[in-house]
Amino acid sequence: MNLQESQFVSVRVPAEAEFVDIVRLTLYGIASKWGFSYEEIEDMKVAVAEACNNAVLHAYEGMEKGFVEVKFEMNDGGIRITVKDEGSSFDYAHKEAKAESLHNKDLSEINAGGLGIFMMQALMDDVEVHTNAGTEVILTKFLQRNEELA
């Protein structure tokens, strides 16, 4: 496999928990070929798994289970991973507003759960969430090039 800039790989799996591993394995294969460190790959694996788990748990609630499509796009600056489902959407702006208000709260006041999106933000360089038809989470990680070794 010889990855080149602007090429992409896409994996489409049923929105079931047991398929999330397939996505993580694919991420591992691609990110290591593209030059990410072990630590960076581990961080991305957690973030991508959180996005997939959200699609598995929340997207198709009360309806027939659909799919999750994960697209890995390589570019010179790094990798862009899009996790997409066609389930029911949610009010992301509202969740963000809630997140800001978390800062003034004691940890014990914050309910368990509801941490997946924060984790993605902490582990990736950029996170975008689009909620039109279903949900699309775009996770970006920049490649730290070591100029001295180049």
Ligand X SMILES: Nc1ncnc2c1ncn2[C@@H]1O[C@H](COP(=O)(O)OP(=O)(O)OP(=O)(O)O)[C@@H](O)[C@H]1O
Query: With respect to Mg ion, which residue has the nearer C-beta, 54 or 135?
Result: 54
Among 13-21, 85-93, 116-124, 127-135, which window interacts with Mg ion (CB under 5 A)? 116-124
79 makes contact with ligand X (CB under 6 A): no
Query: With respect to ligand X, which residue has the nearer C-beta, 3 or 22?
Result: 22
DSSP for 80-118, written as a single string: EEEEEE-S----HHHHHHHHHHHTTS-GGGSPSS--HHH
CB 80 within 8 A of CB 138: yes
Query: Which uninterrupted H or E stretch holds 23?
Result: helix 20-33
The residue number with the shortest CB distance to ligand X is 116
Residues with Cβ within 8 Å of 45's Cβ and at least 6 positions away in sequence, in order, are: 24, 27, 28
CB 22 within 8 A of CB 56: no
Total residues contacting Mg ion (rule CB under 5 A)? 2
Binders of Mg ion in range 41-80 (CB under 5 A): 54
State whether residue 45 is helix, strand or coil: helix
62 makes contact with ligand X (CB under 6 A): no
Closest distance of CB 65 from Mg ion, Å:
17
Among 31-39, 72-80, 110-118, 125-133, which window interacts with Mg ion (CB under 5 A)? 110-118
Contact residues for ligand X, defined by CB under 6 A:
50, 54-55, 58-59, 85, 87-88, 90, 95, 113-117, 135
